[in-house]
Amino acid sequence: MVGVLIGLRGTLLRRSFSGTQGFALGFGALCGLTGAAGMFWHAVRYDVAHSGDLLALALAGTLVGWLVGPVVGGGDPGIRGEHLALLPVRRGRLVLGLLGAALVGVGPLTTLVGLAALVAYGARLGPAAALVGVPGAILLTVLLVVLARVVVTALGVVLGGRIRAVLAALPWAVLTAAMAQCWVVFLALGGGTNPLGAGVPASVARVLRILPSGWPLVAVEAAGRGAGLPAVGALAGLAGLIVVAVLGWAGLLDRPATAPVTHLRRRLPLSRPARTGGSAFGAVVRKELRTWWRDLVRIHYLGFALTYGLVFVSMPLLVGLSDLLPLAGLVAATMLVSCSAHLYSSDGTGLWLTLMVPGAERADVRGRQVAWLLHAAPVAVLFTLAGLVGAVHWWTLPWVTALLPVVLGGGAGLIVLVSVLVPVRMADPHRRGGNPGSDGGPIGGLIWLTLGLLAVVSAPTTALLWYGVRAGSPTLLWSATPVGVASGVLLAWGLGRLAHRRLARRGPELLARLGQA
């Protein structure tokens, strides 16, 4: 069974090197290899003590990435335990087979390449340390893969409604925002804002080595000192943690995943026909508003984006800096754009309902844009106003008033255009098991693509703001606001027009690609 599942996973992987999935795999491999190169650089560039601290920080970042990535960017390995539930296979063999299949992929391979930096670092301490780095890298790779599977499977068990979907997003949003604002932690603990130059604070370095991600490094450093017992103990601890994680995963596989969310007992106020009229456009708006409140995948990403925005701007308060608070709405809107560029993919083959109505493409695209804005714009404005109340200095206000319209307008255009141009593999709504970790699809590459495109469409307004700061001209700074508003309106209209024209011309092809997912 183990060999069969590994071979099946290999076949699925070979057939995914084309189209959108091929792009996502290639992009993921590029990012992984770039991170691996960075880990090797940290391992050999600085003095031994400094390199060890930086390598511990990189290993902790890898751990966070494996825990957060499957939840945010989709973690479905292609082979699920429920697919094999009716087969007469012992639980132990099934778990080992699923583990072997999970180890086959671009992610584990690039992670193993990056963790080989432990061997390079150990070579600086001696041959024994380099030798210990080999099993350390392998064991940590296996542990990361198992922990990711545990996280995704656990989500399917605990999620049973909207509130749980939001709550499940909170820890991952906090972890991601904390990693993005790690300079605040260093500064709060007495270190510098640049760990590459100033070094990692001693207290942080100790904590990083206490984390499971730091145990291989502890083993390597112990072997370099000639302390064999601590080295063996650290590796044995990793192996034991893998066993515990696998047993926990097996226990979660025995528990059925929660069913999809049920309907509300009372209708939402926004779903009343009087709000949008009886046109095709109004019907799409009403349908999308209902979907945003009923689809666990969308609710999960919505909770992630809003929590990320709040935590990102609030963390500098640890060092007494409140200047970023007015950016809460801007950051939350940016993350929501990146997490929403899969609208047609999340509908799956339900797209045929739109294609069967002649000329419905324009109303469908515009309705999706308006429904998204009805969710994103009020929250972004509310976050911005709350941030202005809490901030001491308002120097970020011109940036917010100029960039927020661009992000909202450009985002409303990008989410439909990217969704039409770059479909991703997602389960049809009626086939989902209520688990955003596996139902969300592999949208990690889509998130980064959308963020990059959003930066491009925001570049003219950002350049005007930057020039105003360099010139010290308040007039130039505030002139960026009408430019941002005009850009947002034009982007929402223009990108939406490209999307509905593309959907009208290539809709059947898009449906065929979604049907193959």
81 has a pLDDT exceeding 70: no
Taking the C-alpha atoms of residue 47 and residue 473, their distance in angstroms, rounded to an integer, is 45
Q: Alpha carbon of 177 to those of 111, 186, 335, 431, 485: distances in Å? A: 22, 14, 11, 32, 28
Q: How many CB atoms within 10 Å of residue 459?
A: 12
In the chain, how long is the greatest CA-to-CA distance? 78
What is the pLDDT at residue 466?
92
C-alpha dist (Å) from residue 472 to 324, 401, 467, 477, 508: 20, 18, 8, 9, 53
- Given pLDDT bands bounded at 50, 70 and 90, which one contains residue 53? confident
Q: Is the residue at 431 inside a domain?
A: yes
Tokens 């260093």, residue located: 186
Lookup: tokens for 39: 């880990």
- In b/e form, how buried is each residue of 130-162, taking b as 16+ CB within 10 angstroms? bbbbbebbbbbbbbbbbbbbbbbbbbbbbbbeb
Across residues 76-83, what is the average pLDDT?
A: 60
pLDDT of residue 263: 47
In this prediction, residue 268 has a pLDDT band, given cuts at 50, 70 and 90, of very low
Backbone angles phi, psi at 221, to 5 degrees: -65, -35
In this predicted structure, what is the pLDDT of residue 83? 62
Report how far apart, in Å, the C-alpha atoms of 62 and of each of 112, 213, 253, 398 are.
11, 8, 25, 36
Residue 261's pLDDT band, with cuts at 50, 70 and 90, is: very low
Are both 240 and 294 inside the same structural domain? no
Q: Which of 190, 222, 253 is the last residue of a domain?
A: 253
pLDDT tens, residue by residue, 476-515: 889 999 999 999 999 999 999 999 999 999 888 888 877 6
My answer on whether 276 and 242 are in the same domain is no
pTM over 0.95: no
Same domain, 240 and 280: no
User: Are 236 and 296 in the same domain?
Assistant: no
Q: Let me know if residue 420 belongs to a domain.
A: yes
Residue with tokens 């183990």: 2
Same domain, 315 and 427: yes
Q: Does one domain contain both 237 and 283? A: no
Give residue 160's pLDDT band: very low, low, confident or very high (50, 70, 90): low
Does one domain contain both 285 and 196? Answer: no
Residues 166 and 296 occupy one common structural domain: no
Which residue in the block uniquely carries the two structure tokens 């999809």? 260
In a domain, 265, yes or no: no
Phi-psi category of 47—alpha, beta or left, where left has phi over 0 and alpha has psi -120 to 50?
beta
Cβ 297 vs Cβ 439: under 8 Å: yes
User: Phi/psi zone of residue 493: left (φ > 0), alpha (ψ -120 to 50 degrees), beta?
Assistant: alpha
SS (H, E, C) 43-85: HHHCCHHHHHHHHHHHHHHHHHHHHHHHHHCCCCCCCCHHHHC
φ/ψ of 159, rounded to 5, equals -85, 125
Picking from 201, 219, 253, the residue at the C-terminal end of a domain is: 253
Residue whose entry in the numeric block shows the structure tokens 């941002």: 484
List, for residues 94-114, the tens digit of each pLDDT value.
777 788 888 888 888 889 999
Tell me, yes or no, whether 38 lies in a domain: yes
Residue the block writes with tokens 């992000």 = 407
Q: Are 253 and 153 in contact (CB under 8 A)?
A: yes
What letters, b where the CB count within 10 A reaches 16 and e where it falls short, cover 97-124?
bbbbbbbbbbbbbbbbbbbbbbbbbbbb
Min mean pLDDT across 130-144, 350-364, 428-442, 446-460 is at 428-442
Residue 17 belongs to what H/E stretch?
none
Flag whether pLDDT at 273 surpasses 70: no
According to DSSP, residue 263 is labeled: P
The rounded distance, in Å, linking the Cα atoms of 405 and 221 is 52
Residue 260 lies in a domain: no
**Mean pLDDT (whole number) for 342-367:** 86
List the single range of 38-52, 136-150, 325-339, 410-424 with lowest mean pLDDT. Answer: 38-52
* Range of the structural domain that residue 37 is part of: 2-253
- Segment 198-216, tens digit of pLDDT: 567 777 788 888 999 999 9
Mean pLDDT of 466-485: 90
Q: Is the pLDDT of residue 77 over 60?
A: no
Residue 61 within a domain: yes
pLDDT score for 51: 85
> In the prediction, which pLDDT does 394 show?
80
- If asked whether residues 313 and 246 sit together in one domain, one would say no
Q: Does some domain include residue 263? A: no
CB 295 within 8 A of CB 262: no
Residues 229, 311 share a domain: no
Residues 498 and 358 in one domain: yes
Structural domain count, the chain:
2
Q: What are phi and psi of 261, to 5 degrees?
A: -65, 145
Q: Do residues 284 and 418 share a domain?
A: yes
* Model confidence band, residue 440 (pLDDT cutoffs 50, 70, 90): low
For residues 461 and 171, what is the distance between their CA atoms, to the nearest angstrom? Answer: 33
- The rounded mean pLDDT for the chain is 81
Tokens standing for residue 227: 């302390």
CA–CA distances in Å: residue 145 to residues 85, 112, 297 = 22, 11, 22
Residue 262 per-residue DSSP state: P
Among the three residues 192, 226, 253, which one is the final residue of a domain in this structure? 253
Residue 126 resides in a domain:
yes
Among the ranges given (19-28, 126-135, 508-517), the one the predictor scored with the smallest mean pLDDT: 19-28
pLDDT of residue 453: 94
Residue 306: per-residue pLDDT: 92
